[in-house]
């Protein structure tokens, strides 16, 4: 008889029945099992337990490695996010400064154009005045 069929291995709600046909339930409880079979069953259970323990330990090691990797990736992500936010702030400040400088440059260019126009006007007036002086001097010489 296998140990897994023993009464201590029954699942809750599982009816007790004899592993061998023709034996009444009360006789099955009183049946003797050779000690070598009990030892074999215990050895099999111990081997299964050892396998499960080994798998659990390996799983824990893999889990620890995965957690370490996750922590590293998370910290890297945090650093990259912070760096990206800083670059965005710098870019926003640079954009604002560029806009201010562009407005100032536009104002200066317009002022420069106005000054050139004024300069041209003054130069034309000077030329006209010199022309008038020349005409007056010519008139004056004819008069004398």
72-116: per-residue pLDDT in tens?
A: 999 999 999 999 999 999 999 999 999 999 999 999 999 999 999
Contacts 24+ apart (CB under 8 A), 34-37: 37/1, 37/2, 37/3
Q: Which residues contact 89 (CB under 8 A, 6 or more apart)?
A: none
Name the pTM for this structure: 0.44
- Residue 77 gets which letter from DSSP? H
* Alpha helix segments (H runs only) across the chain: 25-29, 35-143
Give the pLDDT of residue 21: 54
> 20 and 11 in contact (C-beta within 8 Å)?
no
Residue 65 scores a pLDDT above 90: yes
Residue 41 scores a pLDDT above 90: yes
For tokens 């022309």, the residue is 131
């Amino acid at each position: 008889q296998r140990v897994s069929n023993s009464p201590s291995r029954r699942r809750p709600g599982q009816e007790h029945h004899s592993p061998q046909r023709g034996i009444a339930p009360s006789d099955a409880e009183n049946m003797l099992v050779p000690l070598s079979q009990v030892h074999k069953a215990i050895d099999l259970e111990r081997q299964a337990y050892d396998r499960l323990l080994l798998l659990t330990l390996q799983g824990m090691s893999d889990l620890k490695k995965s957690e370490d990797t996750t922590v590293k990736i998370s910290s890297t992500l945090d650093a990259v996010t912070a760096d990206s936010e800083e670059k965005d702030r710098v870019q926003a400040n640079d954009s604002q400064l560029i806009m201010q400088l562009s407005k100032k440059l536009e104002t200066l260019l317009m002022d420069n154009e106005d000054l050139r126009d004024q300069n041209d006007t003054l130069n034309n007036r000077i030329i006209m005045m010199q022309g008038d002086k020349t005409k007056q001097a010519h008139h004056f010489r004819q008069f004398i």
